Structure 1
Amino acid sequence: MAKPPFLGRQSEMSSLNSRWKGKSPEFIVIYGRRRVGKSELIDRFLNKKKGLRLLAREEAKELQLRRFSEEVADYFNDDFLRKTGFSDWDSFFEYLYQKSDERIIIAIDEFPYLVKEDNALPSILQSFWDLKLKYTKIFLILCGSSIRMMESMVMEYSSPLYGRRTGQILLRPLHFIHIYDYIKDIKKSINYFSVYGGIPAYITGLNISQSIEKSITDNIFRKDSYLLRDIEFVLRNELSEPRYYFSILLSISNGNHSQGLITNDTGLSKGIVNKYLSTLIDLDLVTRKVPATVSKRSHRGLYYIKDNLFLFWFRFAYPNVMLIERDLGDAAVKKQVMPYLSDYTGLRFEEIAEDIFLSVNGRDVLPFFFTGWGSWWHKGEEIDGIYYSETENKILFCEYKWQDNVKADVLIRKLKEKSQKVSWNRDNRTEYFCIVARSFNNGTWETSEQTEISGREKEAENIILLDINDIEILCRKALE
């Protein structure tokens, strides 16, 4: 069976390889949500290097030690270890110590499962690291899918392992440019990313030759599809009170973005909502946004579901679960999803455009290098995207439209009016204006020559228009 493609992760792989070439002992923590690609990253890193990945399971300590004994014995071809095995974690780490006089990678995957069975394990590892392992050439990796447990077990001040790690990688979902690099079609990439997000296991498991309607029908709106139940599975495995988190995520998906609206909608107390929102942010499932140019501590913060599949599932799949269970998923997609999918994708297109701009920032293809960004709103007025440079006093105002035949002159006029309500350096700034759309009305502008980013820019007014082809060029530039 062919291995799945390895998407993105050049930065993480470069970091690991750089550390591998050094002579110092390494204690690396790799963590992130399920199916984000942690094990695949480790396996690719291990390729043609000395070492092995040991996968923990939710089983008794004795079974864990027995299985680790077998795998380690097989790797080192150690008949004696096969017969005797590790009696406890002390003997396991002592064995690793004896094998670490030369560079070797030992990756323990799903480390939290081991700690759940033996909460003394972090203290045992601490002792071996301090007294023995840190004087060897070992390259130790602890990996886990429970973000909260990995942080509390390894990185928090109260943990016995605090201060021992030499590096950490919080593996996040892929950026849009990596999904485009895999799919190769810009419109299809936007549609697929809007529904499935940047989790590699989701994207690489799809038949990307399908239309987005067929893909949704086959992969989400079928009662035997694992994606239909995966959201609930993630919440149950990561959170102690999944029903409360479920209620909060459902409320946000229904358009309740302020803390007050979420509290009123769910019936939960303000304190509970505050606490659970904080946890969802830590898990990278929810993001808190404040208007661009405003302090992050602003009380004007709004909450949004960050993961696209979570948002799509709560918006479309959850309300139609009964139909899906009755094998009516095909009809539900046609009647309950497709009429609204363009509007839904339009909301995700705002995030995609921002992600692309961030990916090419500093590559001399945008008017300036920006240091701050975000959407903006105030007293009923909204601007999709603002990018600004504190050092150059330059600011770019953007509107994103997942539409064809957009009349840019109308949007630019409105954008200029709204921009004057943004107080940031209003009396001393250079302004730029940008419209991003699938396509523009042919009569919108008398365009000048192509700019470096292949957009059409009206130089005197610092106006940039980017259609779908220009966006694709930006993606290619980001991947260079």
Structure 2
Amino acid sequence: MDFAGREADLKALEGQLRAVVDRKGATRGRAVIMTGRRRVGKSRLVQEFCDRSGLPYLFFQATKGRSPAAERLDLVEAISCSALPGRELVAGAEPPDWNHMLRSLAVAMGEQAPSIVVLDEVPWLVEQDGEFEGALQTVWDRHLSARPVLLILVGSDLSMMESLQEYDRPFFGRATRMTVRPLDLPDVAEMTGLGAAEAIDALLVTGGFPEVVQSWEPTMTRMEFLRAGLGNPLSPLLMAGELSLLGEFPSATHTRAVLEAIGTGERTFGAIANRVGGSHPLPAGTLSPILANLIAKRVVHADLPLSTEADTRNKRYRVADPYLRFWLAFLQRAVSESERGRPDVALRRIERSWTTWRGRAVEPVVRERLARLLPDDDWPDAEVIGGWWNRRNNPEIDIVAADREPVAGRIQFVGSIKWLDARPFDRRDYDELARGAGFVPGTTSDTPLVAVSRAGFEPGLPLSAAWTPEDLLRPILS
């Protein structure tokens, strides 16, 4: 399958490799800790990078639940099959521990020619053997860092991968961190061949997950893509979500139930507790750590109202990536319907709810895109993009731009998002925004009003900015 997108990620890795080749840095070798959600394309990205480099490399993927001794033997075999210059020196070795194993890896690299070493699914290595981290630190300091190697440590458990760099952990301060995110809107637009508005719909359905986006044939409409994906029980559209969740959250757990409650529309702590607990709300002592874990894993995001007043008790929870949001809302039920040959049932359900669901789901996507486009020359102090609401969600302001968070020093503008196919943002929408803006702490009668609309704008509205899908798609100036 052809590789598409990820140019910024490839450039970041190439920059690290150039530093190794050009001998720039305190140590000859360099290490990168690469994190990202499961199935976001980390392994494929690193493989492409290794192939493009033209250098000898080792790519080793750990196996969950395997014994450390068996894992080390597999790593020896992988070294023997690689192009590392000293691979023959370790053939047939049986290292008794990770210290010996990683020292053997250093021998296989040699001391002169640059090389790349990738250890994939590092959290599984850490789980298997508590000595792995300490051995990695020791061998890095004494052997690996003195060699011309780019060491890339890859893992999907974001909280565990980030903890590798914490102050009290052995590998602290020895690696650069890199987060691989889903494909961005311009990549989705290019790969699907769609216009701006339709590409945003495609992003909501696929989440920018490469395997799902690549199954979207160029110029397919959303309906054509959904019909094709729902008609095949093994399609990436249906399977990527289940495979991603099964790897982290077994179905018969409170964690999975909490995630499903959020994915189907519950946003507040109390509503989630009631949904999961049924007749008896899930106790706060049970729900709080589950939410904390989901947030740490970057699966769920907790939003706070953005204004000049602190409001830490008014959190709203949402599934962090659009594809998983779509999968939990519609596709989880669609899997069994596809398997029994009735994808039409799922397709009708999606179409009945599409406009309403999309109107809510597009809001964080638009805010995230504006946060990447701003600040600019017109809005030099719009450093943070969020939203605002009160406890009754009346009003609820879609966009708030400020100079900082969580408590703003100054509100830059407030705005509304209208994402309808045929109705432009009109005077009624403007008047509703103007009334609601006055409730946001920190706004005045002079605070600029802006809007984002899928279908354009009624002429003559006194908006300070009026963004269309095409504006959201424009390149980000670095």
Aligned residue runs from structure 1 range 227-266, under 5 A? 227-239=237-249, 243-266=253-276
Cα deviations across residues 109-130 of structure 1 (Å, max 9, x unaligned)? Answer: 1223333443322222222123
Q: 2:470 aligns with which of 426, 448, 472?
A: 472
Amino acid in the other structure paired with 1:412:
Y
**Cα 1:316–1:97 shift into 2, 3 Å:** closer
Amino acid in the other structure paired with 2:80:
A
Q: Work out the CA distance in 2 between the residues paired with 1:297 and 1:392.
A: 14
Cα deviations across residues 259-287 of structure 1 (Å, max 9, x unaligned)? Answer: 11111121122121111111111222211
1:289 paired residue number = 303
Amino acid in the other structure paired with 1:415:
L
Aligned residue runs from structure 1 range 327-366, under 5 A? 327-333=341-347, 335-364=348-377, 366=378
Q: Work out the CA distance in 2 between the residues paired with 1:16 and 1:205.
A: 32
Q: 2:184 aligns with which of 175, 194, 213?
A: 175
How far off is 1:406 after superposition?
2.0
1:374 paired residue number = 386
1:54 paired residue number = 60
1:238 is paired with a residue whose SS is coil
Q: 1:212 aligns with which of 222, 226, 247?
A: 222
Amino acid in the other structure paired with 1:434:
V
1:112 paired residue number = 123
Amino acid in the other structure paired with 2:138:
S
Cα deviations across residues 36-85 of structure 1 (Å, max 9, x unaligned)? Answer: 12223323333223433222234444443333223323313657447523
**Cα 1:191–1:141 shift into 2, 3 Å:** same
How far off is 1:193 after superposition?
0.7
Unaligned runs of at least 5 residues, structure 1: 447-457
CA contact (8 A) 1:253 1:314 kept: yes
CA contact (8 A) 2:369 2:472 kept: yes
What is the root-mean-square deviation of aligned Cα atoms in Å? 2.9
**2:168 is the alignment partner of 1:150:** no
CA contact (8 A) 1:54 1:108 kept: yes
Q: 1:225 aligns with which of 219, 230, 235?
A: 235
1:44 paired residue number = 48
Q: Work out the CA distance in 2 between the residues paired with 1:340 and 1:312.
A: 11
**Cα 1:177–1:387 shift into 2, 3 Å:** farther
CA contact (8 A) 1:4 1:204 kept: no
Cα deviations across residues 117-170 of structure 1 (Å, max 9, x unaligned)? Answer: 433222222221233333443322211122233344x23455333x25221112
1:202 paired residue number = 212
How far off is 1:321 after superposition?
4.5
Q: Structure 1 residues 306-315 or 211-220, which shifts more?
A: 211-220
Q: Work out the CA distance in 2 between the residues paired with 1:148 and 1:182.
A: 31
CA contact (8 A) 1:409 1:445 kept: no
Amino acid in the other structure paired with 1:4:
F
Amino acid in the other structure paired with 1:167:
T
Cα deviations across residues 432-471 of structure 1 (Å, max 9, x unaligned)? Answer: 2222222246xx324xxxxxxxxxxx6xx4533333xxx3
How far off is 1:393 after superposition?
4.5
How far off is 1:29 after superposition?
1.0
Superposition TM-score, scaled by structure 1 size: 0.85
2:72 paired residue number = 65
Q: Work out the CA distance in 2 between the residues paired with 1:289 and 1:416.
A: 23
How far off is 1:392 after superposition?
9.4
2:36 paired residue number = 32
**Cα 1:369–1:181 shift into 2, 3 Å:** farther
Q: Work out the CA distance in 2 between the residues paired with 1:83 and 1:421.
A: 70
**2:430 is the alignment partner of 1:417:** no
Amino acid in the other structure paired with 1:173:
P
Amino acid in the other structure paired with 1:72:
I
How far off is 1:242 after superposition?
5.7
Q: Structure 1 residues 377-386 or 124-133, which shifts more?
A: 124-133
**Cα 1:463–1:150 shift into 2, 3 Å:** closer
Cα deviations across residues 286-323 of structure 1 (Å, max 9, x unaligned)? Answer: 11111112667610111111221221122112344443
Aligned residue runs from structure 1 range 389-428, under 5 A? 389=403, 393=410, 395-403=412-420, 404-424=422-442, 426=444
**Cα 1:33–1:254 shift into 2, 3 Å:** closer
CA contact (8 A) 1:52 1:105 kept: yes
Q: 1:434 aligns with which of 450, 453, 459?
A: 450
Amino acid in the other structure paired with 1:193:
L
1:137 paired residue number = 148
Q: Percent identity?
A: 22
Q: Work out the CA distance in 1 between the residues paired with 2:110 and 2:217.
A: 44
Superposition TM-score, scaled by structure 2 size: 0.85
**Cα 1:356–1:38 shift into 2, 3 Å:** same
Unaligned runs of at least 5 residues, structure 2: none
Amino acid in the other structure paired with 1:143:
V
Q: Work out the CA distance in 2 between the residues paired with 1:51 and 1:133.
A: 14
CA contact (8 A) 2:333 2:346 kept: no
Q: 1:166 aligns with which of 169, 175, 179?
A: 175
1:84 is paired with a residue whose SS is coil
CA contact (8 A) 2:363 2:398 kept: yes
**Cα 1:41–1:479 shift into 2, 3 Å:** farther
Q: Work out the CA distance in 1 between the residues paired with 2:323 and 2:45.
A: 22
Q: Work out the CA distance in 2 between the residues paired with 1:7 and 1:142.
A: 18
CA contact (8 A) 2:451 2:465 kept: yes
